[in-house]
A = this chain, B = another copy of it.
């Protein structure tokens, strides 16, 4: 499936200010960039650095006054949707070094405190079956309510209040996976069908497919059920939302506007949609 992205946002800085941006589709094997165009206001400084786990770039800028970002891309997503329930866990001691940090608590995901909960609610299930049950529990128990959370809202808050937006759904998924001993990370992404259109966020869990050789791999899970794995365009990954904000300002900056449009490419057949998903 090819996905076309049109993104524009702008902000204003009264004095020269450093800002970290992360808004472009990552160049990684599972998604091929067919076309890409990034245009930004000319400022004092612009530099790319590799983002977390070398997935995508972060962009440092330093500028003053109004700053515009325009980004257009067409991305061929080659990722296959997986039936998460059929995947198996790796025992912790089998995990590779790079997955280990995603077992630990992070800013918005105090997983350690939820061990009793996951044991009580999902204790009979392991691996992908547990992830699927957690996903179903979140999808069934939570209300998607724009405006119900703030940048300070943690997965614990969302768990209590049972509502939130994509960021909060992903945080709860990540937290309960980690509480189950399954590495989980937070994915900033684009996807069609996100309503209202905006940046999207999903979770990714480290499991293994018993039908294919090799060790573990990362599999996407979206408890909001707005995005399918074969249509998700990853921007970046992190332990939680603290790591993949699309804009982090190191000084006063006023946000002006943002428009996001993500569409399936009309020149390509949608025939590869999987009806069962």
Cβ contact within 8 Å between B120 and A141: yes
For the complex, give the distance between the alpha carbons of A112 and B106 in Å.
Answer: 14
CB within 8 Å of B: which of A25-78? 45, 47, 49-52, 58, 60-62
Q: How large is the interface on A (under 10, 10 to 19, 20 to 34, 35 or more residues)?
A: 35 or more
Interface string of A197-235 (1 = CB under 8 A from B): 000000000000000000000000000000000000000
A267 shortest CB reach to chain B, Å: 36
A265 in contact (CB, < 8 A): no
A193 in contact (CB, < 8 A): no
CB within 8 Å of B: which of A150-198? 150-152, 156, 159-163, 181
Cβ contact within 8 Å between B49 and A113: no
Contacting residues, chain B, for A248 (C-beta < 8 A): 103
CB within 8 Å of B: which of A79-100? 91-97, 100
Cβ contact within 8 Å between B116 and A162: yes
Cβ contact within 8 Å between A91 and B117: no
Cβ contact within 8 Å between B141 and A92: no
Report if A159-B162 is in contact (Cβ < 8 Å); known contacts: A93-B62, A110-B107: no
Contacting residues, chain B, for A51 (C-beta < 8 A): 97
A133 in contact (CB, < 8 A): no
For the complex, give the distance between the alpha carbons of A114 and B157 in Å.
Answer: 10
Interface centre among A50, A106, A107 (most CB of B within 10 A): A107
Given contacts A47-B93, A92-B250, A113-B160, 7 further A-B contacts (CB under 8 A): A18-B92, A45-B93, A49-B95, A104-B242, A107-B110, A117-B160, A181-B250
